[in-house]
Amino acid sequence: MTRLLPVQDSSSFLSTTTIIALTVFFTLLCACIVIGHLLEENRWANESITSLLLGLISGVVVLLVTKFHSSKILVFSENLFFLYLLPPIIFNAGFQVKKKQFFQNFTTILLFGVFGSMISFCLISLGAFLLFKRIGITSLSMQDYLAVGAILSATDSVCTLQVLSQDDTPFLYSIVFGEGVVNDATSIVLFNAVQSLDLGSINAITALKLLGTFLYLFFTSTALGITVGFLSAYIIKTLYFGRHSTDREVALMMLMAYCSYMVAELLNLSGILTIFFCGIVMSHYTWHNVTESSRVTTKHSFATISFIAETFIFLYVGMDALDIDKWKSSNASLGTSIAVSSTLFALVLIGRAAFVFPISNCTNCIKRRESTQIQFRSQFIIWWAGLMRGAVTIALTYNQFSKSDTTTEDGALMITSTIIVVLFSTVVFGSITKPLIEAVKLKHAKPAISDETDSPSFEDLRLLFLENGDPNDQGNNQRGPWQSSFRLLISNPTSTVHYFWRKFDDKFMRPVFGGRGFVPFVPGSPSGAADEIS
């Protein structure tokens, strides 16, 4: 029916150009890792920037070697990106995310990811529509403007992972990264909607339909990911793979996670959301059902694969930036290019500011406890860290503006301008964010901004609800326990939900699907237990 990979028609085994491309690429990847390691101590640089710059440099070298005919060893391929590079990154993020922190901020994350992206989309589309005509771009259609909005609303969750540290700033990490994952889904939904939109009949019903589609996508994708995660936990627990080989366990976890992504794409759902939630469920249940060596292996090998994919993407984007054909066919003067790029970038800045600050303040009004509020400094970092644009943006731009080889002049200009925005935002914001966070922290001599979660109140809850807990111990609490629990439920809904979830998890879920404390016998060496069950 279709070919997964092209069959090379050359007479030799493998085409020489493919081998050259792969050799150069993998050598550069090795170089990125070594350089990234050497620059680890340096707080301005990080792996993304290193690989981006290394990609740019090698692009220049190829350009010089081929005498300005081509700068590309590899053409940016949406298939490669969406099928093979993005899934492991998002899966690993779900697998390693701190679940408690993530679910405590779930409401805020959803608000940012859904409404925020929509506000940003509207503002950028409107801004581009109003401003581009003044620069002299006239051939873009209404659909193109809407697409620009959707494309530039997609924040880069990959670079965010590298800039923010889950250990130093857990609150900011969970907000910005969680928003990035939901935002990916939102922008892709918006982009697909824009591409299939009948522009003759835009009205309130269309908008409602869009929202309906989004909600459908969100819930079905999440449900699919959770289902596959539970399935993997159940299979590995019931069949007890560890007794024969640890390799099968690891392979099954990898393959089932990837399957969840592919099935989601097959059903036209958001694969990113699916594999993210699959990762969360796998780390909560499946991971505890496997042997000790499988645990170490999965933890590190998922991180390694994700790390390689990230480096690959940035190297790729860097090499792709000098796409000489696009630069030639855009035909625009340097002035126009700069004007378009800076307009787009300004719109990105405004579009993000227009939802981060209002939504943060709204949530602050609802949450009354001082410690759970998002302070202004944190709001600023959330705004700043989400300004980076990455590979999703580039993939979407190519998809919109370089269809079927008939790129218009303005289309080519949009591609090159988007590449400039991506490069600029990644290099500049990527290098400044870390020092900025440190500066903000140091200035106020506070180890963590707003990172105090409501764990003290969770302790209260535990004391209140625990059957074995003695209520008389709480000397300074004068009211009866039920009155107090009602007060806690109102003031700390997240903790209460978390408490009941834990009880439900321990009583019903873990006995069936495994998990911490509910694992079958784990032998030290997997082959050692081969004789016990037969």
512 binds its own copies (CB under 8 A): no
Q: Closer to its own copies by CB, 19 or 208: give it.
A: 19
**Structure-token pair, residue 427:** 């290099």
Q: Closer to its own copies by CB, 355 or 513: give it.
A: 513
406 binds its own copies (CB under 8 A): no
CB of 41 to its own copies, least distance (A): 7
Cβ atoms of residues 503 and 109 within 8 Å: no
Among the listed residues 76, 137, 138, 165, the one whose alpha carbon sits nearest the alpha carbon of residue 396: 76
CB of 317 to its own copies, least distance (A): 15
CA distance 179 to 185: 10
CB of 442 to its own copies, least distance (A): 19
408 binds its own copies (CB under 8 A): no
Binders of its own copies among residues 44 to 63 (CB under 8 A) are 62
304 binds its own copies (CB under 8 A): yes
Binders of its own copies among residues 186 to 215 (CB under 8 A) are 188, 192, 195
Mark the segment that binds its own copies (CB under 8 A) among 249-257, 279-287, 352-360, 433-441: 249-257
303 binds its own copies (CB under 8 A): yes
459 binds its own copies (CB under 8 A): no
Q: Closer to its own copies by CB, 304 or 483: give it.
A: 304
Binders of its own copies among residues 256 to 285 (CB under 8 A) are 256, 258-259, 262-263, 265-266
DSSP SS3 for 519: coil
Over 47-87, what HEC string results? HHHHHHHHHHHHHHHHHHHCCCCCCCCCCCCHHHHHHHHHH
- Judged by CB under 8 A, the residue of 60, 202, 211, 247 near its own copies is 247
- Judged by CB under 8 A, the residue of 103, 173, 287, 307 near its own copies is 307
CB of 358 to its own copies, least distance (A): 32
- Judged by CB under 8 A, the residue of 100, 106, 168, 248 near its own copies is 248
34 binds its own copies (CB under 8 A): yes
CA distance 37 to 25: 18
Element housing 133 (H / E): helix 117-135
Using a 10 angstrom Cβ sphere, with 0-12 exposed, 13-18 middle and 19 or more buried, the burial of residue 476 is exposed
- Judged by CB under 8 A, the residue of 57, 61, 64, 75 near its own copies is 75
- Judged by CB under 8 A, the residue of 363, 375, 399, 491 near its own copies is 399
- Residue 396 sits at φ, ψ, to 5 deg, of -65, -40
Q: Using alpha carbons only, what angle is made at residue 148 by residues 146 and 152, rounded to the nearest 5 degrees? A: 125
CB of 268 to its own copies, least distance (A): 9
- 437-472 burial, b if ≥16 CB within 10 A, otherwise e? beebbeeeeeeebbbebbeebbebbebbbeeeeeee
